[in-house]
Structure 1
Amino acid sequence: MSIGEGMDTGYVTARGKGFPTIRQFTVFLENRVGQLMEVIRRFEGSKVRIVALSINDATECAFVRFLLSHPEQGREILERAGLAIIESELIGVELPQTNQPLLEVCTALLQAEVNIVQAYPLLIRPHGQPAVALMVDNLDMAMSTLNAKGFSMIHEADLADED
């Protein structure tokens, strides 16, 4: 028997959970004309596409949140630009084809006592369905609840171009 063989360490890595999370990049920009365009232009000529965008404006700065088709390459581009960024994990949920799809998602999360912190729509339809990106206060509970209720989740790979 080799060292460690047959032993369960009990460790789980953040990326090793197998959950279909998607990465959000938050960029802090000076609140000046043209700053957003400068950041968006940095992706020009790369395979990185912005698949969701949210902007929160304040007096002195703006917080721009991106979901990117190729997050690893996108992070490199943002870091090379010297931008202050924060990386967070969100869940992507396909909206069911019902009269009130957001109500169904919110109801499922409320029943599990999961709070939605941020939400915004995806600019693309990964499987031909509308979808939203959600930042929640309990990622594990939200994922297991939505999966148990039959919602389809979006993986980062679903955001990449279908070349």
Structure 2
Amino acid sequence: MSQLPETINGYDAPHSTQFSVFLDNRVGKMYELLKIFDGVKLRMVALNVIDSSDHAVVRLITSNSTLAHKLLVENKNAFSECPILLVEFGQGLTLAKLCMTLLSAEISIHYAYSLLIRPHNTAVIALHTDDQYLAGKILQRKDFVLLGEADLCGGGFEDTSGFDSYDLEAG
């Protein structure tokens, strides 16, 4: 899949960037956040909302993290970013098998959520663990496919989200 730079140890798992955007829990705040991505050259690949009584954290993954970062800064959004594994489920691979693989290596899953798109017409989840490097290495050994940001940019996938997605070739 993705060809990313290698670490000094000779390995770096393909990954994408997750943005965690902090919002006041008020009517219209989600709209204000999402409208900054309208009409730009990226796809909204995943969205996850964690809400409490006074604030919400919106986790976003896009097909262009550099542009997403720039837009969030320009619009003065409070956010953080971190690498996240994107795990594609091929033939015979299940969530239970993924969990057992990580459990056997004593790797804890902090959180997981599904993507809005389906590269290669298979299910994909975003996964954050207590050791992303080791999790990526072990999952690949067990035949799970890890996707990188470059895998999210082009065609060749089915958008099952019902949400708008933006053609990277369009102006």
Q: Could you tell me the TM-score, scaled by structure 2's length?
A: 0.82
Q: Deviations over 1:92-132 (max 9, x none)?
A: 1012334x710011010101111110100010011221100
Compare CA radii of gyration and give the structure with the larger one: 1
Q: Where in structure 2 are there 5+ consecutive unaligned residues?
A: 1-6, 156-168
**Residue 19 of structure 1: how far off its partner (Å):** 1.9
In the other structure, the counterpart of 2:48 is 54
Q: Is the 8 A contact 2:20 2:81 kept in 1?
A: yes
Give me the identity figure in percent. 38
In the other structure, the counterpart of 2:104 is 111
In the other structure, the counterpart of 1:161 is 154
Aligned partners of 2:12 and 2:120: how far apart in 1? Answer: 20
Q: Which residue identity does 2:145 align to in structure 1?
A: S
Aligned partners of 1:161 and 1:26: how far apart in 2? Answer: 24
In the other structure, the counterpart of 1:150 is 143
Secondary structure of the structure 2 residue equivalent to 1:125: strand
Alignment length (residue pairs): 149
CA RMSD in angstroms comes to: 1.6
Q: Is 1:120 aligned to residue 113 of structure 2?
A: yes
In the other structure, the counterpart of 1:38 is 32
In the other structure, the counterpart of 2:160 is none
Secondary structure of the structure 1 residue equivalent to 2:83: strand
**Residue 17 of structure 1: how far off its partner (Å):** 4.8
Q: Where in structure 1 are there 5+ consecutive unaligned residues?
A: 1-11
**Residue 50 of structure 1: how far off its partner (Å):** 1.1
Secondary structure of the structure 2 residue equivalent to 1:150: coil
Written as runs of structure 1 = structure 2, the 5 A alignment for 1:7-156 is 12=7, 17-98=11-92, 101-156=94-149
**Residue 140 of structure 1: how far off its partner (Å):** 1.3
Aligned partners of 1:17 and 1:79: how far apart in 2? Answer: 31
**Residue 80 of structure 1: how far off its partner (Å):** 0.4
